[in-house]
A = this chain, B = another copy of it.
Amino acid sequence: MAHIGIGFLGCGNIGCGVYRLLEEQTHHIEQNEGVRFDVRRILVRDTRRARAAQIPQAMLTDRPEDVLCDPEIRIVLEFMGGEEPAASYMIRALSAGKSVVTANKMALASRWTDIVAAARQSGAGLYYEASVCGAVPILRALNHSLQANRVESVTGIINGTTNYILSRMSREGASYGDVLADAQRMGLAEPDPTADVEGYDAAYKLSILATLAFHQHVPVDCVYREGITHVEPIDIQCGRELGLTLKLLAVAKEKDGKIEARVHPAFVPDRHPLASVSDAFNAVYVRGHACGEMMFYGRGAGDMPTASAIVSDLICAASADRHALPAVSDEPCSVAEDWRCQHFVRMLASDEPGVLAAVCSRFAEHGVSIETVVQKGERDRQGRAQLILLTHEASERAVRGALSEIGRGVAELGSVIRVEGR
């Protein structure tokens, strides 16, 4: 039976979850995996604070060296969150030959090159399954199950908070602000919700997903990002009438050597497997040239689901004779400057002869062909009707071009939402 010394950097909810899971499953892990983990030191800010796990006081320390320089600690688990000092600590641990297990998508995505270089140089292991979609083993699938595939696209619902908000807006017809306030009361959204609702969290995760899927580093600043704060109930409602469900999607595609990576609200058809991923659940839909379509679904957050992924990584780190880093080219990735998809467009137009014709001609002039037009019955005070258009797949640029002309007098633009997966 191998005994392996480990140390924690940070001990909030996730760290306490890991501590409890390791305690509770000691026998199960010994029996099935032939390894026993001894937690030696835990770095915390305040050694006196009460915690959600019963941790011996002597294990706690506020000096990073107690974890990073203890020769008995072979694997370091990082739960601090944020870019710094987490990234520097991970780099120090890796450089000292200690393997690192982390759930920190922000540090990993922002400092990918430095962190991976430190692991490559020392040969220590770097494991981060928990950084994307909690318990869902999507990174292991990309690295260890889809090796024979050219991955064509990865489309995910990878932020639980925004999925919860959009699910409730869809079900209840409620406004963004009301549901957000409720989610904050329930602890499902942070007091400052920016990282979630503006898509930053999803962009970090997509950077990691795309990097592994396409074997090229896709830095987070190559990810286009748009949040959900402008989503209006009327768009969700109009989409539903067309058989579409609104989600905050993270989409990465590779075509002809160019990569597009983007996080934004998007409609998916109701019958698409992603449409039924509700509330705080996450899912990643992958399309590979050999495997076809696949989806991985589960709890993307929470202390125990995240701990499940971390302890799994810990066991993998402990059992590996050597640690293979995924093959990722260091060349800067080539980002697609325009992308093609279907668009849902809502506008307000006077119900006069010729308006619809004028709208349609602008699209036609930009080479955008239209699949469906619906004019809603109700009128606003100025007598204008809601006009909903669904384009065929078209270049983003062409659609924007047509819309800017339509906006100059023909009709007032309400919203433009991309449509994926039809």
Contact = CB atoms under 8 A, between A and B. Distances in A.
A298 B296 CA distance: 9
Given A215-B32, A297-B294, A297-B297, A308 B137 contact: no
A305 interface: yes
Interface residues of A, number: 54
A298 B307 contact: no
Interface string A143-161: 0111111100000000000
A147 B324 contact: no
Contact of A136 (B25, B129, B294): B294
Interface in A258-306: 271, 273, 276-277, 288-299, 302, 304-305
A321 B321 contact: yes
B290 A304 contact: yes
A291 B135 contact: yes
B291 A304 contact: yes
B290 A147 contact: no
A291 B273 contact: no
A28 interface: yes
Contacts of A311: 147-148, 290
A327 B215 CA distance: 33
Interface in A355-389: none
Contacts of A21: 148, 290
A29 B148 CA distance: 7
A75 to B, nearest CB: 15
B308 A144 contact: no
B135 A290 contact: yes
A154 to B, nearest CB: 14
B316 A29 contact: no
B276 A327 contact: no
Contact of A148 (B291, B307, B322): B307
A145 B309 contact: yes
Given A32-B327, A144-B140, A215-B32, A149 B308 contact: yes
Given A290-B308, A304-B291, A308-B148, A296 B299 contact: no
A33 B316 contact: no
A414 B140 CA distance: 47
Contacts of A304: 289-292
Given A288-B308, A322-B321, A327-B31, A141 B147 contact: no
A350 interface: no
21 contacts: A25-B148, A29-B147, A32-B327, A135-B292, A137-B141, A140-B140, A141-B141, A146-B308, A147-B311, A148-B308, A148-B315, A271-B276, A276-B276, A290-B304, A290-B305, A291-B304, A292-B299, A292-B302, A293-B299, A294-B299, A296-B297
Given A148-B312, A291-B304, A292-B305, 11 more contacts: A21-B148, A32-B215, A135-B294, A140-B141, A144-B316, A146-B308, A271-B276, A276-B276, A291-B298, A295-B296, A321-B322
